[in-house]
A and B are shown apart, each in its own frame.
Chain A
Amino acid sequence: MMATLTRIGAIVVKEFRHLLRDPRMLLAVVITPVIQLLLFAYAISFDVENVPTLVVDLDQTQTSRTYLEQYEASPFFEVVAHGSTLADVDTAFDQNTARVAIVIQAGFARSLAAGEQAQVSVMVDGSEPNAAKVSQAYSVAINQLYTQQLTRQWADAQGLDLSSVGMLEPRVRTWYNPERRSSDFLIPGLMVVIIAIVTVQQTAVTLVRERDLGTEEQLEVSPLRKVELMVGKLLPWTLIAFAEVAMITGLGRTVFGIPMRGDFWALAVGAALFVFASLGMGLLISAVAPSLDTANILAMLIAFLPSFLLSGLAFALDQIPVVLQWISYGFPARYMVTISRGVFLKGAGFPEVWPELAALAVYAVVMIVISSVLYGRRARR
């Protein structure tokens, strides 16, 4: 028993020495997560506010000015310029000085006064789809509110009491992330990508490297057992993965103010299962990859890309093609993203996320069994 611990210890110490001596690996493991965190939190923002807006008032009446004040008052639009012709819209979009243009046709006030449908054009620069989508929705909302206001004024003028007419008043509220901050949404998911890179990629690479060096062959002849080698190899990366989970959680909570509404232990258990599932994947890659390059590419393909693209992190899962949705069930990342967001944002605990936890547990067991079998077969043909 003591001998087993000594042998595993020798491997663990050696693995940390490799890590400390290899600037590239150190960069991949320590610096990359921090850079990703900063990028996701600051640079890659899906937040939409202060959209630069150009207004072209061809009516130039009191009514049109009142209407435009609605935009000026919204925190969402920022009126950056006033144009005088339609050509100004082209110029502003071409030069990227505005992303939305509001054009009030001449005769706006007259049409309203005559009880006709007045024309307002809202033009949106579609080259940034997310901002375009949200701008459109907001301008529609502003128009609806304005229409309601007009209706009420008209009713008052006619001496009618509108409270006797049933009217809908939409009150839209966003749950879990009321300010719709994209960092709240991205950082819990980012954790998943970072665990996947550290565990899958690094375990795959360190095991294949051992084979290339001829040291695996040397160790086979020693009293070191296969399972001791595996544990010794995987333990450092498990520790590093947990350290990174802690770091991202800590930075997210303190620097970025991410809430932690749910049960921390549900997140911890989910992270542990996800780490084991990822280690299993790493083992699997190292068992089948003939070279270091292949191992790197395979790790990229089955760890990084699915956890980024097919996990709900970058794209909502119900908005990707059905085939991809099915494929996403085959990778553990989607379950972990659900758990992470559930716990951080929705206040979830074990009762809410147990199906995902169960899926991860099954995944971890299956991966580790398959890779052990492949390893065993490789070792003693």
Chain B
Amino acid sequence: MQPTTGPAISLRGLTKTFGDFTAVDGIDLDVPRGQIFGFLGPNGSGKTTTIRMLTGTLRPKSGTAEVLGVDVVRHPERVKRRIGYMSQKFALFEDMTVDENLKFYAGVYDLDPATFAAQREYVLRMADLVGREDELTSNLSVGWRQRLALGAATIHEPELLFLDEPTSGVDPVARRQFWDLLYDLASRGVTLFVTTHYMDEASHCNRLAFIYRGRIIADGSPAEIRADHMEQRILDITTPDADAVLEWLEKADGVDEAYLSGASLHAVVPTGSPLTEAGLRERLAAAGHVGVEVTEVDPTIEDVFVNLVARQR
């Protein structure tokens, strides 16, 4: 009955306003099945509002939204059994044990005992919680809680899982482990719709969409996005005095943009610019900045996004 082919999500002209404020402004989007789809954007750009419309908890002002072939605007209840949702709040009851939390969500999704037993096994192994079933959730550290929340959100084997900034406030090691679990889910055929503002996580995704001020400003695979939207070159600068060098770069001729990127600085220069690695190093030395390393690098997703946003302004 329900189509199992075709896109997992298909949006046309989806719009949501709160009073005078347009949170989501006529977005079109297609998310293929069985992929990890990254939905990127700064805070307040409309990511959560979009997810809430897709999960049927918020009614759009206009436009259409099909999730797993179901019109979620008109029939949100028809898709609820088939989707999962996890937010950065984790939605676990901390005064209940690991097992009690899983049992609760199994009850909410009305799982039969056999399915629950099998899913419980899977979740406990996946979250590395075998032997800790009777521990109170409040005693678990953040990484474990996060994996348990993922297990609770997928206890009913959803075809499509929405993750709203699931890695906020989690340390880098736990984030890495968490992404391994997401890959595992994707390999089992689950479509993942992930929002994040960590740009390094974008490279984990099969496809990406950038949302900024309620509009989608870029959309495609990470390679496509880099190729389509990055006409400039990136010079990576390591220096002991990042603040002063950044200040100098922002005013320097021939540098379009400069910003911190991880531990180093990135300077964006036009493709045709004669500025070379050595040339920039000499100009910095002339300005009194010594001990500086300059290397030309391939643009990262973050570089693309910073530039896209700069162009929108």
Contact = CB atoms under 8 A, between A and B. Distances in A.
A10 B108 contact: yes
B57 A380 contact: yes
Nearest to A5: B110
B107 interface: yes
Contacts of B251: none
Given A17-B100, A214-B89, A381-B58, A7 B83 contact: no
Interface in B174-223: none
Interface secondary structure of B, over-half rule: mixed
A213 B91 contact: yes
B16 to A, nearest CB: 10
B77 interface: yes
Given A221-B80, A223-B80, A223-B109, A17 B91 contact: no
Contacts of A222: 80, 105, 108-109
A77 B114 CA distance: 77
Contact of B85 (A9, A218, A380, A381): A218
A217 interface: yes
A219 B105 CA distance: 9
B90 interface: yes
A71 B107 CA distance: 72
A215 B108 CA distance: 12
Q: How large is the interface on A (under 10, 10 to 19, 20 to 34, 35 or more residues)?
A: 20 to 34
Contact of A217 (B89, B96, B106): B89
Nearest to A2: B110
Contacts of A6: 107, 110
A311 B81 CA distance: 48
Interface footprint category on B: 20 to 34
B93 interface: yes
B110 A3 contact: yes
Contact of B91 (A2, A13, A215, A224): A215
A17 B87 contact: no
B81 A223 contact: yes
Given A214-B87, A215-B93, A221 B110 contact: no
B110 A7 contact: yes
A22 to B, nearest CB: 7
Interface string B51-69: 0000111110000000000
Contacts of B93: 14, 17-18, 213, 215
A217 B108 CA distance: 14
Contacts of A215: 91-93
A220 interface: yes
Contacts of B107: 6-7, 9-11, 13
Contact of A223 (B18, B110, B153): B110
A223 B77 CA distance: 7
Contacts of A7: 107-108, 110
Among A2, A217, A224, the one with the most B-chain Cβ atoms within 10 Å of its Cβ is A217
B108 A219 contact: yes
A173 interface: no
A3 B162 CA distance: 24
A14 B96 contact: yes
Nearest to B138: A21
Which 9 pairs of residues, A with B, have the shortest CB-CB distance?
A10-B107, A214-B89, A218-B91, A221-B85, A21-B95, A3-B110, A220-B57, A223-B80, A221-B55
